[in-house]
């Protein structure tokens, strides 16, 4: 079984709840507030570790109480923390999360020490064939690009969660074996102003930089679409009562990486990730909401992915 290494952000989440999100200039009275572990990188590392993968984290925190709490929490979840640095010159990253009734949220991130992570910090051994390196965009893109370039030289599988939405260099996309985006991120990367349901597949195909690259588009309650080889495969979502969607995307990424490190084919890994995310949204918080392998295995059924019946498109085409 391979190892998962996550290069990414570590934040303390200030999670508040309210009946609805405030409009610009408006004050809304909230109901609860909690300090919870978060950051896309940390969440994904926790998700992978709880799914049984040997997992390590490369990141940066401040030399402050939040930094100590986050490092200790990651270690308690089974994540190797030797390559988390404590920067005495700035604070640990913080995310302010507002969760409204129904589970939807708005998030403001202050990166802090996450922006101090440098390319030199990721150039040590990242593993070999069978291992997986995961990156996102809450740390400088140059850091993720350096890690992926080093990983490709060693035969490591690379998984890029291109979030938050923003431009991504052609070099980083070319070094990404698996690209995971939601619809907003897909539209941004593909240069589309808006995406209708029928636009998702052609836009996803537009992002492929190699014939063997895999594109995964998460579609919320509609499930996900994966472009693998020359096929478009739809994975249905699981019906669940939504409490908080904050960490669901990170849960999906971490669980998928764990299954890939265990040798599962990508379509099976997406079924696993879908089940894990459905459990995550039924709980409050991000890092603390990640399910374990036993819970996910108990939920998984016999459903198989089905190929999307859509017009044939050139896998490297631009779509409409």
Q: Which two tokens stand for residue 128?
A: 């070999």
Q: At what angle do helices 40-50 and 248-261 cross, to 10 degrees?
A: 50
Annotated active-site positions, please? 250
Helices 266-280 & 248-261 angle (0-180, nearest 10): 150
Q: Which helix (H) or strand (E) holds 178?
A: strand 178-182
Q: How do 11-18 and 32-38 pair as beta strands?
A: antiparallel
Query: Cα dihedral angle (61, 63, 65, 66), rounded to 10 degrees?
Result: -10
Per-residue b or e along 210-238, where b marks 16 or more CB atoms closer than 10 Å to that residue's CB: eeebbbbbbbbeebbbbbbeeebbbbebb
CA gap 232, 223 in Å, rounded? 13
């Amino acid at each position: 079984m391979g190892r998962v290494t996550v290069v990414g952000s570590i934040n303390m989440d200030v999670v508040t709840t309210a009946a609805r999100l405030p409009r610009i200039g408006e004050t809304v009275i909230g109901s609860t507030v909690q300090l919870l572990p978060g950051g896309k990188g940390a969440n994904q590392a926790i998700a992978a570790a709880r799914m049984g993968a040997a997992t390590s984290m490369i990141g940066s925190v401040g030399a402050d109480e939040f930094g100590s709490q986050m490092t200790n929490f990651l270690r308690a979840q089974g994540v190797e923390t030797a390559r988390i640095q404590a920067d005495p010159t700035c604070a640990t990253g913080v995310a302010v999360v507002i969760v409204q009734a129904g589970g939807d949220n708005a998030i403001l991130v202050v990166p802090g020490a996450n922006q101090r992570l440098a390319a030199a910090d990721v150039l040590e051994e990242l593993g070999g064939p069978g291992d997986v390196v995961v990156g996102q965009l809450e740390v400088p893109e140059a850091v993720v690009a350096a890690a992926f370039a080093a990983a490709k030289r060693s035969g490591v599988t690379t998984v890029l969660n291109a979030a938050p939405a923003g431009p991504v260099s052609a070099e980083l996309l070319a070094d990404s074996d698996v690209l995971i985006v939601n619809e907003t991120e897909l539209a941004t990367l593909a240069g589309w102003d808006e995406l209708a349901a029928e636009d998702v597949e052609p836009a996803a195909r537009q992002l492929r930089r190699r014939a063997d690259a895999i594109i995964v588009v998460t579609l919320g309650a509609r499930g996900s679409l994966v472009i693998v080889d020359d096929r478009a495969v739809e994975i249905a979502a699981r019906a669940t009562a939504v409490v908080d969607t904050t960490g669901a995307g990170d849960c999906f990424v971490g669980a998928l990486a764990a299954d890939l490190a265990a040798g599962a084919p990508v379509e099976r890994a997406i079924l696993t990730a879908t089940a894990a995310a459905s459990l995550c949204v039924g709980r409050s918080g991000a890092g603390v909401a990640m399910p374990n392998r036993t819970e996910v295995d108990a939920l998984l059924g016999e459903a198989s992915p089905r190929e999307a019946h859509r017009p044939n498109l050139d896998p490297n085409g631009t779509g409409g």
